[in-house]
Structure 1
Amino acid sequence: MEKKLTVIPPNQINSDAKQPDNMKYRVAAYCRVSTEQEEQLGSFANQITYYTEYINGKEEYQLAGIFSDEGISGTGTRKRAGFRSMIAACEAGKIDLVLTKSISRFARNTRDCLHYARHLKSLGIPVIFEKEGINTMEASGELLFTILSSLAQEESRNISENTRWGIRSRFQQGIPHINTTGFLGYDKDEAGHLIVNQEQAKVVRRIFQDFLEGWQPSEIARKLNEEKVPGVHGEPRWAAVSVLRILRNEKYKGDLLMQKYYVRDFLTRELEQNDGRLTQYYIENNHEAIVERELWEAAQLEQKRIEAFKKTHQIRELGSGSLEPFYGKIFCSQCGGRFVKKRGKSQWKCINTAGEKRKTCQAQPVSEEKIEEQLSLAWAELVSRRGNLLPDWEKEVSQGNPLESLRASQMQELTGKYPAWQHAAKKKRMLVLEILVAQGSVSTVTFMDGIRLKAGEADNA
């Protein structure tokens, strides 16, 4: 009787696969194009059609899937969902053979290419690169494969360098390279110019207005989420960092800073902030502004003021989860510690008398009612001085920096519009800078424009 040899791949040993006489190799194909250009997408569709027909046309083959990534760079695998799904299927024993057009379609990263080819080889799964005629299970394939992978990686390096050169050349000519996909407030027209997205611009303006009225980035984000205000991707997923990015983006005042970031490594495609390594290019009045230039500048100065304030008082955050307007603004005149209030409670007490070990401050707690009472007196005193303060405020409006000008303008308006604290209190975030407490009572109130009133002055109002 004639001997008959049947090869059983490792991943089918002790499995429920068909008997050897009827066994078919489960074959998968991997296809990829790295751009979304029309001609590339045509090639992508052709690859899928070709491998589907090719595998189905082989009697000994069984189609195990066409895995693909469209418009994704081959220099890494992190963003290539199709590739990772194929590897997972191989590891699960669902694939016996992988076909792909070429090494450059599989990967342009030598490290990843060799890693995954050898990983699949260890599972008994060959990868066949049709263009190069390489089968990774053959003895001669390893050397040739390594050489060709290196060449593919070098090709990717050249493409990356040429792309960077092109972008930087346009920068030098003042031609921007802007991605508006993750950029709230603007779209691009057919010529590539930034145009205002009016609905999104309303959200941007609101963020600047809230911030300059005393709301902290974390609080602004919380409000936007609660109101289900859509973000740049259409979902209400706001965080303090996303609010800060908007507040710091010069594009909202109509300017454009180019080359803020650069690609550190063409293999990983990771961006790194340009801290002076590469030349930057700044264009003023590049496009229509969403926020007035003075307001944008005031927001930058306010951020610096907040950072200095937090450093002085050794606190990490001004905004609170409960949206408490005085969180991080009330301090102990005895030890300098921050006063805190538990949720649902009406008393504030020094954090250094919180009952923990080694806390030595003897400051008395102060009630919410007492703070409001003292603020009412301080506000009444300030309003009574309005006539004398107006010349100074007017001088700040015309000669101060954007933040000083804004605060002086706010004080002019609010002292005239809200002479009673019960009405002015709704703007307390942008009125009160700091409150000092001593002996269970407010000792000093400092307003946002820098005016400081002691308790005695307010009591005599």
Structure 2
Amino acid sequence: MENKRKMKKTVRYIPAKTNLSDPINTGTKKLRVAAYCRVSTKEEEQLNSYEVQRKYYTEKINNEPEWELVGIFADKGITGTSVKKRDKFLQMIRMCKRNKIDLILTKSISRFARNTVDCLHYVRLLKELNVDVFFEEQGLHSIQNGSEFYITIYGSIAQSESENISANVRWGKEQSARKGNVSFHYKNFLGYRKGEDGQPEIDPDQAEIVKEIYHRFLMGDSLNKIAKYLTEKNIPTPAGKEIWQTSTIKSILKNERYKGDALLNKTYVVDCLSKKTKINCGERPQYYVEDNHPAIIDRATFGRVQEELARRSGKQKVKRVGTKTENGKYSSKYALTELLICGESGTPYRRCTWNIRGKQKIVWRCINRLDFGKKYCKNSPSMEESSLQNAIMNAIVKMAKQNADVLEVLKINIGMGIGTSNCGERNRLNLQIEIEKIESEFNSILCQITDDIQDRETNEMKLEKLIAQKRKLEKQLEECQEHEEKQERTNSRLEEISNTLSRLQYQPIEFNDQIVRQILEKVVVESKQRIRIVFVGGYEVIQEV
């Protein structure tokens, strides 16, 4: 067997084409370079910084003979914790994906992104595209070996800074709210403007629109009807748009600022990364500032509107044929849709049109009887609209002639509904004084706390006792204020009823939906010939049809 000659191995060194310790080198071809810069706010000082950065990078790249300027990508007044709203940043990434950029210059990792996850994601993406990112402050190239470790550390520090800034801002807002400092966004707020002293003042023209909205709502108009009315009148919305939405009307009706108060911290930002805003349902403390600015709507009217909003949203649920839910729906077209009730089943009546021998006849029928026949309601009668309306107006006019007596009965009934209370201006003031005394004593004990364990335990027990006393007094004060507001709303409603009845004493009037809504609570159909009319406050009369 022939011996094989022993082969000698040879190893030839082939140097890398790119020096990873430097930016990517494309050889004779010029390096395509872009720069990214960002400022945090739109304030003048920061905008100057933004222009300085643009000028700096333009000169820096143009002064390098082997570099070719692709573009300066800059975002103004945009958060660094998320890239979603940074349009120029995303445009730069798209150009990298199209192989238009070799190197990106940026001041620091915190300018590139304050979110560690986003920072690493885009650095890795660009690395796969063979695009280098050079962070000047850190002197770091993203394509260097081990660069990701340092980017993670610096990115975490930048994110932590954002979180600290966010926490400081939240603390500052909390302290401002504690002091009752209220900020107004006049641009999208109807009814107020900034006064010469910097405080909100009433805009007379806009205030009339607000009053009109409240008045029409209490007169029975639906949110949709009010929105349609304002749109047809070519009245611009708070945001300056032509078409009103029901959500805007509802927001105006529910906003406590129209009665001169302000609720602070209605919403809050979940975290500095997502920037998601949530409605504050008790997760964060809130502060209610009373009599902060001039009121457009008096407290009694505002309270009645809140009661009416609650009444409409809590309408009786009735399952109807062809519907999946039992949600009640408010109707502003006919007052009796809200008021007419079947005496047998307690179900609302519905307005129907009958065609008899070519002639139309308007009647009201029990919804249960209409949809399910005699299954749930065997004896409810159909009521002719004209006869029903005449009977109701006859009862109202009769009551108008007994104006004083009716009001006295209504006062008694409503007073029973409100209940008795020891609240009065003097008692409310005494409660406030007691609360202030407890707070003063509480702060005094805090200053006296020492390191002695026995003294500390004694003082802690005193503090707990004071806290319990304060909570009890605050609850009494809150109940007192609620009672006073309810009494004020009652007096306002009684005055309105009195004025309505006074007008009806001397002039016959046809059926009027607004008047019926103002003074009637419900109309119960007892039989074909008889209805039971319940006035606001619970006063009842039987009326023949």
Query: 1:236-385 counterparts in 2 under 5 A?
Result: 236=242, 238-310=244-316, 316-320=327-331, 323=333, 325-340=335-350, 349-352=365-368, 366=382, 370-385=384-399
Residues 102/310 of structure 1: CA separation in 2 closer, same or farther (3 Å cut): farther
- 1:34 is aligned, of 21, 24, 40, to 40
Indicate whether 1:165 and 2:171 are aligned: yes
Equivalence for 2:444: none
In structure 2, C-alpha distance between the alignment counterparts of 1:93 and 1:235, rounded to whole Å: 44
In structure 2, C-alpha distance between the alignment counterparts of 1:88 and 1:431, rounded to whole Å: 67
Residues 199/92 of structure 1: CA separation in 2 closer, same or farther (3 Å cut): farther
Under a length normalisation based on structure 2, what TM-score does the superposition of the two structures give?
Answer: 0.66
Gaps (5+ residues) in structure 1? 8-19
Residues 173/145 of structure 1: CA separation in 2 closer, same or farther (3 Å cut): same
Deviation by residue 1:172-206 (Cα, 9 ceiling, x = unmatched): 33333444444333334576522333333233222
Aligned length: 438
Indicate whether 1:203 and 2:209 are aligned: yes
Indicate whether 1:66 and 2:66 are aligned: no
In structure 2, C-alpha distance between the alignment counterparts of 1:331 and 1:119, rounded to whole Å: 68
**Counterpart of 1:267 in 2: which secondary structure?**
coil
Q: Does structure 1 retain, via aligned residues, the 8 Å contact 2:524–2:532?
A: yes
Indicate whether 1:406 and 2:492 are aligned: yes
272-281 vs 406-415, which moves further: 272-281
167-176 vs 290-299, which moves further: 167-176
Equivalence for 1:11: none
402-411 vs 251-260, which moves further: 402-411
Offset of 1:294 from its aligned partner?
2.0
Residues 163/339 of structure 1: CA separation in 2 closer, same or farther (3 Å cut): same
Deviation by residue 1:84-135 (Cα, 9 ceiling, x = unmatched): 5555555566666544333223332223333343344444444443333333
Offset of 1:292 from its aligned partner?
1.4
Offset of 1:152 from its aligned partner?
0.6
Residues 85/441 of structure 1: CA separation in 2 closer, same or farther (3 Å cut): farther
333-342 vs 162-171, which moves further: 333-342
In structure 1, C-alpha distance between the alignment counterparts of 2:366 and 2:86, rounded to whole Å: 53
157-166 vs 184-193, which moves further: 184-193
**Counterpart of 1:147 in 2: which secondary structure?**
helix
Residues 231/46 of structure 1: CA separation in 2 closer, same or farther (3 Å cut): farther
Query: 1:131-142 counterparts in 2 under 5 A?
Result: 131-142=137-148
Q: Does structure 2 retain, via aligned residues, the 8 Å contact 1:220–1:243?
A: yes
In structure 1, C-alpha distance between the alignment counterparts of 2:530 and 2:46, rounded to whole Å: 70
In structure 2, C-alpha distance between the alignment counterparts of 1:40 and 1:388, rounded to whole Å: 73
Which amino acid is 1:390 matched to?
A: A
- 2:502 is aligned, of 386, 391, 416, to 416
Equivalence for 1:114: 120
In structure 2, C-alpha distance between the alignment counterparts of 1:348 and 1:86, rounded to whole Å: 68
Indicate whether 1:103 and 2:109 are aligned: yes
Q: Does structure 2 retain, via aligned residues, the 8 Å contact 1:52–1:66?
A: no
In structure 2, C-alpha distance between the alignment counterparts of 1:129 and 1:22, rounded to whole Å: 25
> Identical aligned pairs, as a percentage?
34
Offset of 1:156 from its aligned partner?
0.8
In structure 1, C-alpha distance between the alignment counterparts of 2:519 and 2:183, rounded to whole Å: 41
RMSD: 4.3
In structure 1, C-alpha distance between the alignment counterparts of 2:63 and 2:196, rounded to whole Å: 45
Offset of 1:149 from its aligned partner?
0.9
Query: 1:207-218 counterparts in 2 under 5 A?
Result: 207-218=213-224
**Counterpart of 1:257 in 2: which secondary structure?**
strand
Which amino acid is 2:392 matched to?
A: A
Residues 121/238 of structure 1: CA separation in 2 closer, same or farther (3 Å cut): farther
Q: Does structure 2 retain, via aligned residues, the 8 Å contact 1:340–1:348?
A: yes
Deviation by residue 1:8-54 (Cα, 9 ceiling, x = unmatched): xxxxxxxxxxxx99977665544332223221121123334444555
**Counterpart of 1:229 in 2: which secondary structure?**
coil
Q: Does structure 2 retain, via aligned residues, the 8 Å contact 1:219–1:323?
A: no
Q: Does structure 2 retain, via aligned residues, the 8 Å contact 1:446–1:452?
A: yes
Deviation by residue 1:371-397 (Cα, 9 ceiling, x = unmatched): 343123212221112232434437749
Residues 143/289 of structure 1: CA separation in 2 closer, same or farther (3 Å cut): same
Q: Does structure 2 retain, via aligned residues, the 8 Å contact 1:108–1:153?
A: yes
**Counterpart of 1:231 in 2: which secondary structure?**
coil
Deviation by residue 1:333-369 (Cα, 9 ceiling, x = unmatched): 44444444589995655444565899865677857xx
Under a length normalisation based on structure 1, what TM-score does the superposition of the two structures give?
Answer: 0.76
In structure 1, C-alpha distance between the alignment counterparts of 2:34 and 2:539, rounded to whole Å: 74
In structure 2, C-alpha distance between the alignment counterparts of 1:109 and 1:22, rounded to whole Å: 37
Which amino acid is 2:493 matched to?
A: R
Offset of 1:74 from its aligned partner?
2.3
In structure 1, C-alpha distance between the alignment counterparts of 2:277 and 2:492, rounded to whole Å: 36
Residues 51/302 of structure 1: CA separation in 2 closer, same or farther (3 Å cut): same
In structure 2, C-alpha distance between the alignment counterparts of 1:33 and 1:306, rounded to whole Å: 49
Offset of 1:147 from its aligned partner?
0.9
In structure 2, C-alpha distance between the alignment counterparts of 1:317 and 1:84, rounded to whole Å: 48
Q: Does structure 2 retain, via aligned residues, the 8 Å contact 1:318–1:328?
A: no
Which has more radius of gyration? Answer: 2
Indicate whether 1:152 and 2:158 are aligned: yes
Q: Does structure 2 retain, via aligned residues, the 8 Å contact 1:221–1:240?
A: yes
In structure 1, C-alpha distance between the alignment counterparts of 2:508 and 2:127, rounded to whole Å: 80
Indicate whether 1:185 and 2:185 are aligned: no
Q: Does structure 1 retain, via aligned residues, the 8 Å contact 2:345–2:376?
A: no
- 2:50 is aligned, of 44, 51, 69, to 44
Which amino acid is 1:422 matched to?
A: E
Gaps (5+ residues) in structure 2? 1-13, 19-25, 320-324, 355-359, 416-485
Which amino acid is 1:172 matched to?
A: R
Offset of 1:154 from its aligned partner?
0.8
256-265 vs 378-387, which moves further: 256-265
In structure 1, C-alpha distance between the alignment counterparts of 2:298 and 2:287, rounded to whole Å: 22
In structure 1, C-alpha distance between the alignment counterparts of 2:60 and 2:540, rounded to whole Å: 82
Which amino acid is 1:61 matched to?
A: E
Offset of 1:409 from its aligned partner?
2.5
306-315 vs 384-393, which moves further: 306-315
Offset of 1:150 from its aligned partner?
0.6
Equivalence for 2:6: none
